[in-house]
């Protein structure tokens, strides 16, 4: 009897492994493999503009010992965090309206319209902001009619945040909308019947019920912003550089690919740590009182 009960279990495990195998192979080939190679390359040396295989810590010592690296690290982390906060706050009213205030058909069309920007190249969308944010652009022209400005918005941190939001805001709205739309409406009705005000209902019922989706949306926003090169380069002026720009500058300086690999590894470790912490918090169950 024990052998008969264990046989279906083993066949089930083999069946599950067969379906999981493609994603495992994909992750090994296109994530784990390149990541391990990048870590190994960070210990290589550059001699006569050519990489030499070695195991030296000189690249780590030089990069982590430079003040400009930590300045870029703090700047990149701060801009990504600010972009995440702004996107989350701006997206929530739109997602709330789509989830609770409109019909399902309108919600579907709205999500479709939010997907359309991704049909266009991100670089093209960023360059379109030149016309809007320039000193002689649309915004300053409108402000000029009101006797204000002109304001410098290009080559500033404000321009970088605008670029980050161009990349992430539609995605955050979609993820928040899907999360809020899956909330059981009876919870909201029960809160209202118990005398909760609309603001308290959002704070005490809706946000806790949609916590996982809201955190995942914010995490996507942070990851995309933290690793983005286009916005800080073309809208932010690249001075001071963020970490992705620092990688490009490092590779151009004497073909220092190993030192650029150090920056890339630090970025990956930071993103993996934040992602692990965020997902752990998102799926952590509330302690019962």
Q: What is the pLDDT of residues 244-268, one digit of tens each?
A: 999 999 998 878 999 999 999 999 9
Interatomic CA distance for residues 257 and 262, integer angstroms = 9
- What integer best gives the mean pLDDT of the chain? 90
Summarize the chain as % helix, strand, coil (round to 5).
Answer: 75, 0, 20
**pLDDT, tens digit, for every residue of 65-85?**
999 999 999 999 999 999 999
Residue 10 banded pLDDT, cuts 50, 70, 90 = low
Q: Half-sphere exposure (CA, 13 Å, Cβ side) for 161?
A: 16
pLDDT of the residue at 198: 86
Radius of gyration of the chain (CA): 24
pLDDT of the residue at 174: 97
Per the CB < 8 A criterion, the answer to whether 217 and 171 are in contact is yes
**pLDDT, tens digit, for every residue of 126-145?**
999 988 999 888 999 999 98
Residue 40 banded pLDDT, cuts 50, 70, 90 = very high
Residue 195 banded pLDDT, cuts 50, 70, 90 = confident
pLDDT of the residue at 288: 42
Cα angle 248, 249, 255 (rounded to 5 degrees) comes to: 85
Residue 82 gets which letter from DSSP?
H
Per the CB < 8 A criterion, the answer to whether 236 and 156 are in contact is yes
Q: Which of left, alpha, beta for 60 (phi over 0: left; psi -120 to 50: alpha)?
A: alpha
Residue 43 banded pLDDT, cuts 50, 70, 90 = very high
pLDDT of the residue at 150: 86
Max distance between CA atoms of the chain, in angstroms, equals 88
Per the CB < 8 A criterion, the answer to whether 158 and 77 are in contact is no
pLDDT of the residue at 47: 87
Give the residue among 233, 240, 235, 268 at the shortest CA–CA distance from 74: 240
pTM attached to this predicted model? 0.89
pLDDT of the residue at 48: 83
Residue 212 banded pLDDT, cuts 50, 70, 90 = very high
User: In this structure, are strands 45-47 and 50-52 parallel, antiparallel, or unpaired?
Assistant: antiparallel
Residues pairing with 13 in the sheet = none
pLDDT of the residue at 1: 45
Interatomic CA distance for residues 273 and 149, integer angstroms = 42
């Amino acid at each position: 009897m024990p052998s008969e009960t264990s046989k279906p279990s083993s066949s089930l495990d083999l069946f599950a492994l067969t379906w999981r195998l493609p994603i495992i192979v994909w992750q090994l080939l296109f994530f784990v493999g390149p990541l391990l190679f990048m870590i190994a390359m960070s210990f290589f040396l550059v001699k006569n503009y050519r990489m030499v295989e070695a195991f030296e810590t000189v690249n780590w010592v030089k990069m982590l010992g430079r003040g400009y690296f930590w300045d870029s690290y703090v700047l990149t982390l701060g801009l990504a965090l600010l972009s995440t906060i702004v996107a989350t706050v701006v997206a929530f009213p739109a997602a709330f309206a789509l989830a609770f205030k409109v019909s399902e058909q309108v919600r579907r069309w709205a999500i479709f319209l939010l997907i359309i920007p991704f049909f266009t190249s991100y670089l093209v969308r960023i360059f379109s902001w030149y016309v809007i944010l320039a000193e002689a652009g649309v915004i300053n022209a409108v402000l000029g009619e009101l006797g204000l400005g002109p304001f410098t918005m290009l080559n500033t941190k404000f321009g970088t945040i605008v670029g980050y939001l161009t990349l992430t805001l539609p995605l955050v709205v979609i993820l928040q909308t899907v999360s809020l739309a899956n909330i059981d409406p009876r919870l909201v009705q029960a809160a209202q019947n118990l005398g909760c005000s609309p603001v308290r209902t959002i704070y005490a019922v809706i946000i806790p019920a949609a916590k996982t989706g809201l955190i995942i949306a914010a995490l996507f926003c942070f990851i995309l912003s933290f690793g983005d090169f286009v916005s800080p380069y073309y809208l932010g002026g690249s001075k001071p550089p963020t970490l992705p720009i620092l990688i490009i500058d490092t590779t151009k300086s004497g073909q220092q690919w190993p030192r650029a690999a150090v920056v890339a590894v630090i970025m990956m470790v930071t993103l993996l740590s934040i992602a692990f912490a965020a997902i752990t918090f998102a799926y952590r169950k509330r302690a019962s009182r």
